[in-house]
Amino acid sequence: LGKLQSESTKKKRYKSILLVDEQGSILEKFDSIMQAAEQYGCGKGAISNVCQGRTKTACGRYWRFE
């Protein structure tokens, strides 16, 4: 079966995500893209694309890595 991972190892796999306004002011912080996507009903890939600079917005919102 797979290797067991410690909580600290699991946590390192995720990057914190920030929901920001057009001026870059932080509106909300999420522990992962998955958490943000579930709360806002937005695709994980769409948020990831914004954070990586490929697109400007996802679900009409601005996102960035912390």
Q: What are phi and psi of 61, to 5 degrees?
A: -125, 160
Q: What is the pLDDT of residues 2-39, one digit of tens each?
A: 666 666 555 567 899 999 999 999 999 999 999 999 99
Strands 62-65 and 17-20: antiparallel
And the tokens for 35? 């958490």
Query: Using CA atoms, how far apart are residues 64 and 15, in angstroms rounded to an integer?
Result: 10
- Helix count (H) and strand count (E) of the chain? 3, 3
Q: Cα(58)–Cα(41) distance, rounded to whole angstroms?
A: 10
Q: Is the pTM of this model over 0.85?
A: no
CB 5, CB 13: distance < 8 Å: no
